Amino acid sequence: MGIHDSRLCGTVSRHHLYHFLFLCKPLDGDQVTETPLHTVEVLETCWFAEHALPADLHPGHASRISEAFRVWQGDDRAYFDR
């Protein structure tokens, strides 16, 4: 769906990071059939409606999520930071 430059979304790091966004759909609805490999990196996963996101999101995540909803709703243009 797009590529975001960490320097343009408030990330403070000594490294230059790019965030790649992909549009995916669960294979079996909301059912998780096995333990994900990223359990040491992710504390919790949840599904949220566009207007019901947690209030404590990092601003960089919020901007990327809004791009994800834009594509999910049918706008197929990829996003690239300028």
Q: Which residue(s) pair with 18 in the sheet?
A: 5
Which domain covers residue 1, as residue numbers?
Answer: 1-80
- Closest to 23 measured CA to CA, from 81, 61, 70: 70
Rounded to two decimals, what is the model's pTM?
Answer: 0.61
Give residue 37's pLDDT.
66
Tell me the per-residue pLDDT of 38-61, one tens digit each, with 9 for 90 and over: 666 677 778 888 889 888 887 778
- pLDDT-based confidence at residue 27 (cuts at 50, 70, 90): confident
Instruction: Give how many domains the chain has, as a whole number.
Output: 1
Sheet containing strand 79-80, strands side by side = 18-21, 2-5, 79-80
pLDDT digit string, tens, across residues 58-73: 777 887 888 888 888 8
Residue 31 has pLDDT above 70, yes or no: no
